Amino acid sequence: MAYPKVTIGGHTIGDGNPVFVIAEIGINHNGDVAIAKKLIDAAAAAGVQAVKFQKRTVPVVYTAEELARPREVPASVLVAAIRRGALSKDAEQRLVASHFREATNGDLKWALEFGEKEYAEIDRYAKEKGLLWFASPWDEGSVDFLEAFSPPAYKVASASLTDDGLLRRIRAKGRPVILSTGMSTLAEIDHAVEILGKERLVIMQCVSTYPAELEELNLSVIPVLRERYGVPVGYSGHERGIYTSLCAAAMGAAAVERHITLDRTMWGTDQAASVEPKGLELLVREIRNFEKARGDGVKRVLDSEIPVLKKLRRVGAK
């Protein structure tokens, strides 16, 4: 059965086409544009097609109580945020007066959130490196924010799959959509697909544990989703290592997304579930090697086999 294909930024995703590889930078930049650029460099060197970020309107996504909750945050992250003006003056004064010991979850969320200036630089730099970039908006205002950069696609995070208002806002922009399905039932995915439509949709098998254990990955869901929805299906992985992401490609994943980091020991909630630059380079290389070896499914005698056939083939042996 032939499945529809989706085009994102000139790359066709679907049967018979190269796996579309996405390097998820997310919040692994720790609020530092210089780190974000190094991650873009690593993604470009590895040969991926796109890098992805996350965008939130902090007071919309989090409650006041959640933002006020005490949170241990490295001083380096807070200092970087103060230098680029990401925190309020009140927050700056409180943090400096306490020698950065009285941080809150809100301080962290604002510190990790890039604004227009930072995304303008990311937009410029990713294009300079020949990469597509897009993001997962976590609220409707973030969709409108990202639309100003004419993204080639939107990514719906697993946590947002049941946010009907967000899905409708994304669909209204008329761009391709990549839908992650972690912590979701088939009924919930059905509902999200009904809202988003199938015309420009890629669905990703995903497990929302960080890092995910091997027995949790359930790669066999990839062909199930293909049959159920009739759209390209990919894989968004949070596991350790790269082998299982290669297996996902071998099982029909049309796109593969992995979080990337400069160093898995860096501070941050997603670092341990990420791959380092060398790992990303190896993953892309092996996916491309698999594509060469996959072939077209037609059994034939190769020209390179003819000399061997003439030398070794026994005809009419008894």
Range 75-101 average pLDDT: 94
Does 147 fall in a domain?
Answer: yes
Q: What does pLDDT average to over the chain?
A: 95
158: pLDDT strictly greater than 90: yes
Residues 6+ apart with CB under 8 A from 90: none
Whether residues 51 and 61 share a domain: the answer is: no
Q: Tokens 């761009």 — which residue?
A: 175
Q: What percent of the chain shows pLDDT beyond 70? A: 98
Whether residues 205 and 105 share a domain: the answer is: no
Q: Are 125 and 46 in contact (CB under 8 A)?
A: no
At 156, which CATH number?
3.20.20.70
Range 154-168 average pLDDT: 98
Does 295 fall in a domain?
Answer: yes
Q: What pLDDT digit, counting tens, does each position of 196-213 carry? A: 999 999 999 999 999 999
Whether residues 231 and 304 share a domain: the answer is: yes
State the maximum Cα–Cα separation within the chain, in Å, rounded to a whole number: 93
Whether residues 134 and 181 share a domain: the answer is: yes
Whether residues 150 and 267 share a domain: the answer is: yes
Cα distance between residue 240 and residue 177, in whole Å: 26
Output the DSSP codes for the chain: -----EEETTEEESTTS--EEEEEEETTTTT-HHHHHHHHHHHHHHT-SEEEEEE--HHHHS-HHHHHSB----HHHHHHHHHTT-S-HHHHHHHHHTTT-S-BHHHHHHHH---HHHHHHHHHHHHHTT-EEEEEESSHHHHHHHHTT--S-EEE-GGGTT-HHHHHHHHHTT--EEEE-TT--HHHHHHHHHHH-STTEEEEEE---SSBPGGG--TTHHHHHHHHH-S-EEEEE-BSSSHHHHHHHHTT-SEEEEEB-S-TTSSSTTGGGSB-HHHHHHHHHHHHHHHHHH--S-----GGGHHHHHHH--SS--
317: pLDDT strictly greater than 90: no
Q: What percent of the chain shows pLDDT beyond 90? A: 93
Q: What pLDDT digit, counting tens, does each position of 111-139 carry? A: 999 999 999 999 999 999 999 999 999 99
Q: Residue 189 belongs to what domain range? A: 6-55+122-312
Instruction: Report how many domains make up the chain.
Output: 2
Does 300 fall in a domain?
Answer: yes
Give the predicted TM-score (pTM) of the model: 0.94
Residues 6+ apart with CB under 8 A from 92: 82
Q: How many CA atoms lie within 13 A of 190 on its CB side?
A: 5
Whether residues 129 and 226 share a domain: the answer is: yes
Chain-centroid distance, C-alpha 142: 17
Whether residues 26 and 126 share a domain: the answer is: yes
Does 126 fall in a domain?
Answer: yes
Whether residues 91 and 207 share a domain: the answer is: no
Whether residues 152 and 65 share a domain: the answer is: no
pLDDT of residue 273: 87
Which of 186, 209, 232, 216 has the alpha carbon at shortest distance from 1? 232
Whether residues 140 and 74 share a domain: the answer is: no
Cα distance between residue 217 and residue 235, in whole Å: 10
Does 1 fall in a domain?
Answer: no
pLDDT of residue 2: 64
pLDDT of residue 318: 55
Whether residues 71 and 196 share a domain: the answer is: no
pLDDT band at 1 (very low <50, low <70, confident <90, very high): low
Residues 6+ apart with CB under 8 A from 255: 13, 19, 20, 21, 22, 178, 202, 204, 232, 234, 235
pLDDT band at 314 (very low <50, low <70, confident <90, very high): confident
